[in-house]
Structure 1
Amino acid sequence: MSFVSVTLVIILIIFYLMMKARKAQIQAEKANAAKSDFLFNMSHDIRTPMNALLGYSELMKRELTDPKLLDYQEKMEQSGNLLLSIINNVLDMAKIESGKMELDENYVQIRDIYHGVYKIFQAEAEKKGIHLEMEYEVQHEHVICDETKNREIFLNLISNAVKYTASGGAVTIRITELDCDRKDYVRIQTQLIDTGIGMSEEFLPSLFEAFARERNTTAAKVAGTGLGMPIIKKYVDMMGGTIKAESKLGEGSKFTVIMEYRIADKGYYEQVTDLSPDTEETDWISGKHVLLAEDNELNAEIAEFILEDMGLIVDRVEDGIQCVARMEQKPAGTYDLILMDIQMPNMDGYKATQTIRKLADEKKACIPIIAMTANAFEEDRKKALAKGMNGHIAKPVDAEKLKKTILSALR
């Protein structure tokens, strides 16, 4: 065989391998796209009924006076929140593995993250007879970071500490600022120390592996997926931090997280301070008119109750077409705000928002629009803002978060 023939054969083989690799890449991309679509739909389909379950549970609590029924309601609510947490963990892990998880960094006062999480577990710890203590020594509090993921890290760690510590035990949260070599960065160490059931030395190396649990739900009498720790580790790695676990069976555990955050310029928090709601925020939004675009009857009923409880006046439409038509028909100033579902029949929330933004009447076109939707991923929030919305609230709806988002949009 001549040199030319050999060269031609080699070229054909290389071309064949390249085509095969490209075909495999296309198949992988299609599989990832299908997985993302599945996660998107799964998240929406689960969150919609969960919003109804938790919403009606909250409404029922306001009407109950019988201590026994209140106890039942509280246990229903706890179970619902646990189920939502498990669902979130499964979806988050799937998103991480598919490479779709991204950082969303913005200004935050780091103290707010810790104090917010601490307050969540304060009542639970007190009820269990656990001494929950927080020690806080941080000079540079104003930072740029992914608030949601940082909050998730410490929520999981403190939740586990309280969950696995028996009555009479103690959980200590110790936050300390360390020396940092990077210019304009702050280095913060967070330690979670508990006197709980602890873990064996044999299990510690597999602690951050997906679905790994030293005790199953039956043996430990604590529900979970075994995904909390792997998700924490992924988040810490994404943000360039470190996490270390120390534990002894029967003696408790100690987790040490070290993160570096960029220090925020004064412009960030001076501006935020100016925009923060005042003490009369409830009076400030009372009487404002809201147009609610929501096709689901149950979710609409819950939303109307929450909004009317804030003192807002609510009109409801069932899809994007009706929403746009209402804005076209009513005089400018009729509504102060639109709360927009995303997945609706006839016209979705994105299209409705874009249509409203193009209305000839500038006052109508500039009305604040907030997405209130079961599309709860970070990319959903970014997409809502990119489509012209002023905010994003995920279902199940947190009334306090909704209130703050409404205040921010109206101001």
Structure 2
Amino acid sequence: MSKKVSFFNLSIYKILSKEQSFLDQARIRLLYYGFFLIFVALGALYLSVYFQNQKMLAYTALFLMGAVIVLFKYLTWRPDWRGTAHALLIVGTLVNSSLVYVSMQTVNIITVQVIIIVIAFSYYMLGQQWGLIYSLLNTIPVLVFMIIEYNSGYVIGIKPNKIDQSTIIISLFANFILLIFIHSHFYTAFLKNIKHLKDSSREQARLYNQMETAIEKAEKSARIKSEFLSTMSHEIRTPLNAVIGMSNLLMMSSPRPDQRENLEVLKFSANNLLAIVNDVLDFSKIESGKVVFENIRFNLVELMNNICGGQILKAEEKGLLFKLDVDSSLKNKVLFGDPTRITQIIFNLVSNAIKFTPQGNIWVRVTCVEDRHNTVTVNFSVRDTGIGIEKENLENIFEPFTQESLATTREYGGTGLGLAIVKRLLELQDLQITVNSTMGYGSEFSFYMEFPVSTEVVTEVVAAPETKQPAESPLACLRVLIAEDNMVNVMLMKKLLSKWNINPTIAENGERAVEFMQYGNFDIILMDLQMPVMNGFDASKEIRKMADPKKSGIPIIALTASALFDIKEQVYEAGMNDYVSKPFKPDDLLEKLNNYALRKRVV
């Protein structure tokens, strides 16, 4: 025990604490009150043997009384009950042996009682191991003495003390009192301890039930949160799909310069809103632990050019100089990794650099720091000459929904999720991001990432000789069935597909889509997932069950604004071929339609 009190303390309450168990408190009380009983008993014995002129026994009693006083003072000053118990047992063992071999030179009932007291006291105070040790230290010497005395008699040059009947009675009485006190005290302590354990067990059971309830509530809350995010995502993305889609349609219609400027503002605002929604959903997905990293082939140089291509234009609009520098040794390497997550990380870092740099430069560097043939270690660095970050705020910027300061949020906007997403994505791969920043001079974010290297060699693409393309577009005569319940999106899809000379058939729900497939012929289905009567998943499953192989094998592309984390898996499990998230870029949908149209022509 480390508790310390005043040297002059004599109170037991100052050496007891709530942190001690019931048994430990009982042991301290046993020592504290036991010292009083022993001292009184020794005082009575001292007077008895003193008046009988038994000097050795009188000195022994005085020695024991002094030891009791010293140990009592030590216990009330430094409440080390274990050390005190050991010291008391050692003194008792030595005195017991000296009484048998020197002072009295015999084994009587008093000696046996002392041994019993030592055994009981050592087991109760110090446990089984020390109890056994002190029991053997007290019993073996006495047994040895009895054997010696039985075989040859025990004789030494010191005259033994003889005690009268009154001294024997005092000793027996004192020993009985001590034995009763020890057993009674610990019996009460054991009962209290058992009751405490029962109460603790009941309390633990209650807490366990509360914990289970809390876990159920947390899981339910997580499900509700996921469903809420999915619903809100669908409700926000559906009108956004119309806003962005109509903006794209109007911009494809050769608007006047003043109209184009208005459309650009409209499209920019809609894309900003979409970016905020995507950030919240991405962060929720990461926090839920449902992020799965791919391990596919990609070329890092091409990936970085694609990521920074649009960002360069964005930087130039602000008058910033944007420089992308990718290590030339990576040019002809095919790496394994997750290009989607790398894109997400770099895009967030570069977007932040552009946002917080009023003037100056943006540098994006990708350096191969170690090439071991089968793996490469790459350093990614994004540096700017922006506003910089205060040193005490460097850790805070990675917290979700947090920016460097309130003034920064007001001036530059944003959700404060970009860097949180970057940090979480890197941490999930056991990677760390490093930040160096100086207020007014800019910031640099960097991290290292290791990639396995494919044995495939990237070769320069040689332009093939031009061949005469057929006059007819691959999308000509493509029969498209659209399953969509939202009239605004229906109008948008009709206008968009008309640009590609496609006249689609519209089914207002999944059940109607199945009916159209039963009685009509189509080349491809664009299937919304959340519809009344029958959703897109069930409709796709019904179509895959059709007897006609041409109908059951028709390509189905899912179109949805849902934000469920496992939506892709659900899409493929339902038998759909592809997935496009709303709001989508017209070019993305056009590319997928062209791919399936070309497959149809090949077949």
Taking structure 2 as the reference length, what is the TM-score of the superposition? 0.60
Identity score, percent: 32
**Offset of 1:361 from its aligned partner?**
0.7
Cα pair 1:128 1:166 within 8 Å, conserved: yes
**Offset of 1:309 from its aligned partner?**
2.5
Name the residue aligned to 1:403: 590
Pair 1:158–1:20, CA change in 2 (3 A): same
Name the residue aligned to 2:539: 352
Q: Does 1:171 align with 2:385?
A: no
Name the residue aligned to 1:259: 449
- 3-state SS, counterpart of residue 197 of structure 1: coil
Cα pair 2:300 2:331 within 8 Å, conserved: no
Distance in 1 of aligned mates of 2:409 and 2:549: 63
User: One-letter code of the match for 1:154?
Assistant: I
Cα pair 2:484 2:490 within 8 Å, conserved: yes
After superposition, the C-alpha distances for 1:135-173 in whole angstroms (9 at most, x for unaligned) are 112256433333332211111111112222234x22111
**Offset of 1:82 from its aligned partner?**
0.9
Name the residue aligned to 1:297: 487
**Offset of 1:116 from its aligned partner?**
1.6
**Offset of 1:264 from its aligned partner?**
4.6
Q: Does 1:389 align with 2:581?
A: no
**Offset of 1:363 from its aligned partner?**
1.4
Name the residue aligned to 2:222: 32
**Offset of 1:104 from its aligned partner?**
4.3
User: One-letter code of the match for 1:207?
Assistant: I
Name whichever structure is richer in strand by fraction. 1
* Alignment partner of 1:309 out of 472, 476, 499: 499
User: One-letter code of the match for 1:355?
Assistant: E
Distance in 2 of aligned mates of 1:79 and 1:217: 22
Pair 1:127–1:25, CA change in 2 (3 A): closer
Name the residue aligned to 2:306: 116
Name the residue aligned to 1:42: 232
Taking structure 1 as the reference length, what is the TM-score of the superposition? 0.87
**Offset of 1:113 from its aligned partner?**
2.7
Q: Does 1:162 align with 2:357?
A: no
**Offset of 1:76 from its aligned partner?**
1.5
* Alignment partner of 1:364 out of 547, 551, 556: 551
Name the residue aligned to 2:100: none
Distance in 1 of aligned mates of 2:498 and 2:284: 37
Cα pair 2:335 2:453 within 8 Å, conserved: yes
Name whichever structure is richer in helix by fraction. 2
Pair 1:209–1:117, CA change in 2 (3 A): same
Pair 1:2–1:228, CA change in 2 (3 A): closer
- 3-state SS, counterpart of residue 388 of structure 2: coil
Which one has a bigger Cα radius of gyration? 2
Distance in 2 of aligned mates of 1:362 and 1:217: 62
User: One-letter code of the match for 2:288?
Assistant: S
Cα pair 1:217 1:223 within 8 Å, conserved: no
Q: Does 1:83 align with 2:270?
A: no
User: One-letter code of the match for 1:145?
Assistant: G
Distance in 2 of aligned mates of 1:196 and 1:328: 61
Bigger mean CA offset, 348-357 vs 101-110: 101-110
Cα pair 1:376 1:395 within 8 Å, conserved: no
Cα pair 2:484 2:508 within 8 Å, conserved: yes
Distance in 2 of aligned mates of 1:140 and 1:240: 27
Bigger mean CA offset, 289-298 vs 206-215: 206-215
**Offset of 1:310 from its aligned partner?**
3.4
**Offset of 1:352 from its aligned partner?**
0.6
**Offset of 1:312 from its aligned partner?**
3.7
Distance in 2 of aligned mates of 1:140 and 1:243: 27
Task: Output aligned runs, 1:172-251, within 5 Å.
Answer: 172-179=363-370, 184-216=374-406, 221-251=411-441
Distance in 2 of aligned mates of 1:279 and 1:234: 50
Pair 1:376–1:262, CA change in 2 (3 A): farther
Cα pair 1:242 1:259 within 8 Å, conserved: no
Pair 1:209–1:11, CA change in 2 (3 A): closer
User: One-letter code of the match for 2:252?
Assistant: R
Distance in 2 of aligned mates of 1:327 and 1:173: 51
Distance in 2 of aligned mates of 1:194 and 1:320: 51
**Offset of 1:6 from its aligned partner?**
8.4
User: One-letter code of the match for 2:363?
Assistant: T
Bigger mean CA offset, 216-225 vs 340-349: 216-225
Q: Which has the higher contact order (CA 8 A, sep 6+)?
A: 1
Pair 1:251–1:218, CA change in 2 (3 A): closer
**CA-atom RMSD in angstroms:** 3.0
Name the residue aligned to 1:153: 345
Distance in 1 of aligned mates of 2:566 and 2:455: 26
Cα pair 1:354 1:388 within 8 Å, conserved: yes
Pair 1:353–1:279, CA change in 2 (3 A): farther
Distance in 2 of aligned mates of 1:161 and 1:241: 21
Name the residue aligned to 1:273: none
**Offset of 1:48 from its aligned partner?**
0.6
Distance in 2 of aligned mates of 1:295 and 1:254: 48
Name the residue aligned to 2:336: 144
- 3-state SS, counterpart of residue 221 of structure 1: helix
User: One-letter code of the match for 2:299?
Assistant: Q
User: One-letter code of the match for 2:544?
Assistant: R
- 3-state SS, counterpart of residue 233 of structure 1: helix
Where in structure 2 are there 5+ consecutive unaligned residues?
1-190, 460-466
Distance in 1 of aligned mates of 2:308 and 2:248: 22
- 3-state SS, counterpart of residue 398 of structure 2: coil
Cα pair 1:241 1:260 within 8 Å, conserved: no
Q: Does 1:373 align with 2:560?
A: yes
Name the residue aligned to 1:96: 286
Distance in 2 of aligned mates of 1:280 and 1:262: 40
Pair 1:20–1:326, CA change in 2 (3 A): same
Pair 1:327–1:179, CA change in 2 (3 A): same
